[in-house]
Chains A and B, each alone.
Chain A
Amino acid sequence: MAEGKIKKVSIVCSKGSLEGIYPALIMANGARMEGIEASLFFTFFGMDAVTKKKMNKIKVATVGNPAMGIPTWIGAIPGMSAMATRMMLKTMDALDIPPIGEFIEMISDAGCKLFACKATVDMFKLSMDDFCPQVEKVLTVGEFYALSAGAEIIFT
């Protein structure tokens, strides 16, 4: 085995769009698949990924997203985001990339620990009851850093 192998990662998921959340989840799951210790820390709108009411309604941003390749005014037509999301989820499903709820469960079963950010919890007036059961704890930034000792921190 090569020296300097990554042993531990802490991944911060800060965005609440489909294209914002998936990279964090894929990185976390991929870490566990390689035997790397992994934690996921959800903050700001990224927290929607573990909020029961929202986690299965996450959408692709079709407005203000130049990479979509469609003019913003088309992206703003009602239903565009839902349609783009459906198409993307279908493609991902074929590659065995699960929908967010199922993915969170899979990542947790893989041994990755999931945390929510205290500042966001306070700001949005949330409690542990609002989160899916895989969320272990609400952490302060300080606790997050303490827990990430020796880890690579990846911000998405």
Chain B
Amino acid sequence: MATMKYAGISVEVDDEGYMTDHSQWSEDIAQAIAAEEGIKLTDDHWQVINILHDQMNTKEQLPTIRSLKKLGVETKRLYELFPGGPVKKASRVAGYLKPASCV
């Protein structure tokens, strides 16, 4: 556990930098975490982040790469948007813990 300062706000994160309290999340924090990952958020990134929020709100589960594709995010595009680990990084930016799924 640690505290990080994103967009001027103190945020609780775990050892790998994933937010532990989603209620602290805001769009500004998302921008700051993305910047740390070397990502500048565009509308396409927000599309993915919004899907993550939707799925967590309705199913309490992060979407898989396959379910993201069914929701209109092509796999190739997903890897372009979040290079080096799309679900992990999208999840971090969206303010959730590291996904625990193998697929």
Residues of A at the B interface (CB closer than 8 Å) are 26, 29-30, 32-35, 95-98, 102, 106, 109-111
Residue of chain B at shortest CB distance from A1 = B16
Residue of chain A at shortest CB distance from B82 = A35
The listed residue with most B CB atoms (<10 A of its CB), out of A33, A102, A109, is A33
CB pair B69 A106 closer than 8 Å: yes
CB pair A109 B75 closer than 8 Å: yes
Give 24 A-B contacts (CB < 8 Å), ordered by A residue: A26-B102, A26-B103, A29-B65, A29-B103, A30-B103, A33-B65, A33-B87, A33-B88, A33-B103, A34-B88, A35-B83, A35-B85, A96-B64, A96-B101, A98-B66, A106-B65, A106-B66, A106-B69, A109-B74, A109-B79, A110-B65, A110-B75, A110-B79, A111-B79
A96 to B69, CA, bound (A): 11
When distances are taken between beta carbons in the complex, the residues of chain B under 8 Å from A26 are 102-103
Closest 9 interchain pairs by CB? A35-B84, A109-B75, A96-B64, A35-B85, A96-B66, A109-B76, A97-B103, A106-B75, A98-B66
A35 to B83, CA, bound (A): 7
Give chain A nearest CB distance to B90 CB in angstroms: 11
CB pair A96 B87 closer than 8 Å: no
Interface size band for B: 10 to 19
Chain B interface main SS type: helix
Residue of chain A at shortest CB distance from B70 = A96
Residue of chain B at shortest CB distance from A95 = B103
A112 to B27, CA, bound (A): 32
A96 to B66, CA, bound (A): 6
CB pair A33 B67 closer than 8 Å: no
When distances are taken between beta carbons in the complex, the residues of chain A under 8 Å from B85 are 33-35
A65 to B97, CA, bound (A): 39
When distances are taken between beta carbons in the complex, the residues of chain A under 8 Å from B76 are 109-110
Given contacts A33-B65, A33-B85, A35-B85, 11 further A-B contacts (CB under 8 A): A29-B103, A33-B103, A35-B84, A96-B101, A96-B103, A98-B66, A106-B69, A106-B75, A109-B79, A110-B75, A110-B79
A29 to B65, CA, bound (A): 10
Residue of chain B at shortest CB distance from A26 = B102
Give chain B nearest CB distance to A126 CB in angstroms: 27
